Amino acid sequence: MAARLLLFPLPMPDSPRFDVSVIMPFGDDEELVGIAVRRTAEHLRSLKVAFEILAIDEDSGDNSHAVLALLRAEVPELRVTHASGRGRGVDVGAARAQGTLLAVATPDVASAVLDGIGDACRRLLQGEGDAEVALGRYTVAHRMRSLIAFRGARLFGAAMHRRLAKRLQVRHLAVRVTGPTGVAVTTRARPGAVARLFSVRTNRVA
């Protein structure tokens, strides 16, 4: 049985200790999670930001924990903890994060490419909006402004970032959403705004 890394028994304080907290929920991802953590750490180090990586176990049954245990010396920014079940990792990670920003990505995306997340972090740290969502890839948001949108969320797979965008929108946050076609729209929620946001179909980046 894979060794279990149980950290963060209690919620963390609200005062930020890092620029970015990466929340990476994982299940049976032993082939991807190690690569994802390593590449995420390398990417954020290249950006010269202080960060932590919160790998959240959503009831994995493979060797994902053993893979992560081997990375502890190489990636001291890594923390591993448990969620109560599938889809609960983002909620748990947001509650225990200590960064100014929350960045959410799954192992399949983080192991491949994180292009754009650095620019998103830079814009948000400079005060340009409250959150940025790249549908199907990642979500970055100011922790204290967006925490209520993460609480109680149950998020799965490809729909994760679309649902996060909607949860952020209805809480009147300024959210920049980049869709599969490359469109970027910044809005604050108003009646019908969420529906209009996700009906946009254009290749022109705003």
For residue 162, the tally of other CB atoms under 10 A from its CB is 17
Report yes or no on 32 lying in a domain.
Answer: yes
Report yes or no on 121 lying in a domain.
Answer: yes
Closest to 88 (Cα-Cα) out of 143, 175, 156: 156
Report yes or no on 114 lying in a domain.
Answer: yes
pTM: 0.81
Name the least confident of 1-10, 24-33, 116-125. 1-10
Report yes or no on 74 lying in a domain.
Answer: yes
Report yes or no on 152 lying in a domain.
Answer: yes
User: Per residue in 43-98, pLDDT tens?
Assistant: 999 999 999 999 999 988 899 989 999 998 999 999 999 998 889 999 999 999 99
Six token digits for residue 84: 């109560």
Six token digits for residue 139: 């979500």
> Whole-angstrom Cα distance, residue 132 to residue 121?
9
Q: What is the widest separation between alpha-carbon atoms in the chain?
A: 51
Six token digits for residue 179: 């869709």
User: 61-71: b or e for each residue (b if 16 or more CB lie within 10 Å)?
Assistant: eebbbebbbeb
> Whole-angstrom Cα distance, residue 65 to residue 81?
10
Report yes or no on 4 lying in a domain.
Answer: no
Residue 109 is predicted with a pLDDT of: 87
pLDDT bin (cut points 50, 70, 90) of residue 146 is very high
Task: Name residue, tokens 């180090």.
Answer: 45
Report the share of the chain in percent with pLDDT over 70.
80
> Whole-angstrom Cα distance, residue 50 to residue 48?
7
| Number of domains within the chain | 1
Starting at the edge strand found earlier in the chain, the sheet holding 184-187 runs: 78-82, 51-57, 18-26, 99-104, 138-142, 131-134, 175-178, 184-187
Report yes or no on 28 lying in a domain.
Answer: yes
Q: Structural domain of residue 71, as residue ranges? A: 18-197
Here the CATH number for the domain that contains residue 57 is: 3.90.550.10
| Residue 102 pLDDT greater than 70, yes or no | yes
pLDDT bin (cut points 50, 70, 90) of residue 171 is very high
The whole-number average pLDDT for the span 101-120 is: 89
The whole-number average pLDDT for the span 182-193 is: 50
Report yes or no on 153 lying in a domain.
Answer: yes
Helix then strand then coil, in percent of the chain rounded to 5, is 35, 20, 45
User: Per residue in 11-54, pLDDT tens?
Assistant: 444 567 999 999 999 998 999 999 999 999 999 999 999 999 99
